Amino acid sequence: MFITLSLLLVAVCLIPAAAKLAGHPKMRHAADHFGIAWHRYRLIGVAELAAVAGVLVGLVWRPAGLLAAAGMTLLLIGALITHRRAHDNVREALPALLALVVSGTYLAVAL
C-alpha cells in the first residue's frame, strides 16, 4: 500500500512539474490567469520536482518522504487558495484538490 501510494504521489507531482518546467502553453495560461510571473510560476514546478525526489527517497528513508509530502501539502493548500482568489470553480481546482487528498493520505499512511 505504501509503495503504491508513494508512486501515485510521485505521478501527481511529476506530471505538473514536467509541464511547468517544459513551458507547456496550458501552464503559461495558468500563470497569466493567476497573475503570477512566468519565471515565478516555474518555481512551483521546481518545488513539485523536489517533492518527487523526496517521496522517492522516502521509499528507503521515511522521514524524507514525510517532509516531501508535508511540503507538497502546503504547496497544494496555496494552490487552492490561489484558485479561490481567481474565482475558479471546483472543476478548475479539482486537480489540486485531488493531489491534496493523495498527499494527505500519504502522510496519514506514512505516519
Please state the rounded mean pLDDT for residues 34-47. Answer: 97
Rounded to the nearest integer, the mean pLDDT of the chain is 97
Predicted confidence band of residue 14 (pLDDT cuts 50, 70, 90): very high
Band the pLDDT of 74: cuts 50, 70, 90. Answer: very high
DSSP structure string for 88-106 = --HHHHHHHHHHHHHHHHH
